[in-house]
Amino acid sequence: DQFFQTSAVNFLAACIYFFVNYEREPYDAKGNKLYAEKRQDPETKFWKPTGVVRDKEGGVIVEPAYWLGKYSDMPHILSFLNESYQTIFEVLETDNEVAPLLGPFQTALKNRAMEQLEGMIGTLRVYTSRLATKESYWIFHRDGDDFDLKVSDPKNPSYLLIANDPEMESIIGALNALILNRLVTRVNTGQGKNVPVSIIVDELPTLYFHKIDRLIGTARSNKVSVTLGFQELPQLEADYGKVGMQKIITTVGNVVSGSARAKETLEWLSSDIFGKVVQIKKGVTIDRDKTSINLNENMDSLVPASKISDMPTGWICGQTARDFIQTKTGIGGSMNVQEAEEFKTSKFFCKTDFDMKEIKKEEAAYVPLPKFYTFKSREERERILYRNFVNVGMEVKEMIKDVLNKRGAK
């Protein structure tokens, strides 16, 4: 299983890397396209970059902030993946940096071991083909009204809201995960380059959050907070696996829970979050001659599982992370552990108290979100999106033709 997973990753990485490098174009920090000088090869007659970049044709030499391939976006890669194996590998092997990733695939292709090749990357192509829709091509196309995913940019802070659709959960969930994982790499940077930002994910199991435990562990120092919402631990385990679930619940610093039903969730809250404390049990024995009182100390659950499962609406329980507190000592360095502030519990079991009048007043003042794209009719929208979908396929065909022509000219 690990071999086939790694093979699929290598294949997809090779495709992405090829598109990133194909006819790269320089840009400045503001996203403005720069001018890259080119010279004509006397033998092949093809134009090749010289490495000199100017702010405009004939302008001053500048250092680009980043480079982007001519077709380095998701729609073109998805369209390329639908080509035949023969065409895909003939194109990819023209890039010397991509070639090392293609060794196992080329051997299978040359030996006509199509079943082996399908086993390596067939499943990947099946899943990626489901993402190739005219709507996804429109949203993820690199040309047009792009949105900077660095929402924590001090010069241009912004909000990003993405949602799922129950009828297309698997497809939209994958696309949302693509946005979210890219956003994380953009905002989780240090050196004072962030305004405080919060990533809030409700119904976490409906999308895949890559290496989420690393984000939780490192984001705090970069002024990034992470809030994750889900129903029960078994639901989280079903989509992230047992290891992934454990990484999440053991890395978070704050836990807030309402009533739970699953055995795993109740055990985690009762045993791991609240734990056990010393409790004094009082027993009274009455007989004919005397009454005796027995006091026993036992380690019992601070909040039993039955109490958590029976919580009514509006009640919550959990634990908050601690801040650093200066240790206060008395005479001779003594300290009362029972009364010291730094040893006070951060666990809670309480009822919420919301001012519903103020909340309704705030909701009444909400302004409807403006529509960024407006189409005259549903038919016009479908026509525009379909035209873009077809254009992407044609551009990929032209790219393949161009690459193979250059390959034949060498």
CA-to-CA distance for 353 and 315, rounded, in angstroms?
Answer: 9
Domain membership of residue 136 (yes or no) is no
Residue 223 falls within a domain, yes or no?
yes
Residue 317 and residue 268: Cα distance in Å, rounded? 13
Which residues is 295 bridged to in the sheet? Answer: 282
C-alpha separations of 118 from 7, 123, 132 in Å: 11, 7, 19
Residue 285 lies inside a defined structural domain of this protein: yes
Q: Is the pTM of this model over 0.85?
A: no
CA distance 112 to 110: 5
Q: 214-272: per-residue pLDDT in tens?
A: 888 888 888 888 999 999 999 999 989 999 999 999 999 899 999 999 999 999 999 99
**pLDDT at residue 91 greater than cutoff 80:** yes
Q: Which of 89-103, 146-160, 294-308, 331-345 has the highest mean pLDDT?
A: 294-308
* Rounded mean pLDDT, 129-140: 90
* Residue 54 β-bridge partners: 35, 61
Number of independent structural domains in the chain: 2
Question: Do 273 and 245 share a structural domain?
Answer: no
358 shares its domain with 291: yes
Average pLDDT of the chain to the nearest whole number: 85
d(CA 59, CA 32): 14
Same-domain pairing of 178 and 227: yes
In sequence order, what are the residues at sequence separation of 6 or more whose Cβ sits closer than 8 angstroms to the Cβ of residue 189?
222
Q: Which of 85, 90, 81, 72 is nearest to 18 (CA)?
A: 72
Residues 248 and 278 in one domain: no
Provide the pLDDT for residue 284: 87
Q: What does the pLDDT look like over 17-40, one tens digit per residue?
A: 899 888 888 888 777 788 888 787
| Together in a domain, 151 and 229 | yes
- Rounded to whole angstroms, the Cα distance separating 219 from 190 reads 9
Claim to verify: residue 284 and residue 230 sit in the same structural domain = no
Q: Are residues 236 and 299 in the same domain?
A: no
- Specify if 308 maps to a domain: yes
Judge whether 293 lies within some domain. yes
**Do 283 and 197 belong to one domain?**
no
E-assigned strands of 72-223? Answer: 197-201
Give bridge partners of residue 286 from the DSSP assignment: 291
Where residue 5 falls among pLDDT bands split at 50, 70, 90?
A: very low
- How large is the average pLDDT for residues 293-305? 88
State how far the Cα of 101 lies from the Cα of 105, in Å rounded to an integer: 9
**pLDDT number for residue 76:** 94
State the Cα–Cα distance between residues 355 and 310, nearest whole angstrom. 24
Looking at the chain, the whole-number percentage of residues with pLDDT higher than 90 is 31
Residues ≥6 apart with Cβ < 8 Å to 237: 244, 245, 264
Task: Say yes or no: 278 and 353 in one domain.
Answer: yes
| Residue 295 CA: distances (Å) to CA of 251, 280, 286 | 39, 6, 15
The pLDDT of residue 394 is 96
Per the structure, the complete domain to which residue 169 belongs is given by 147-252
User: Residue 2: is its pLDDT beyond 50?
Assistant: no
pLDDT in tens, 372-385: 778 888 899 999 99
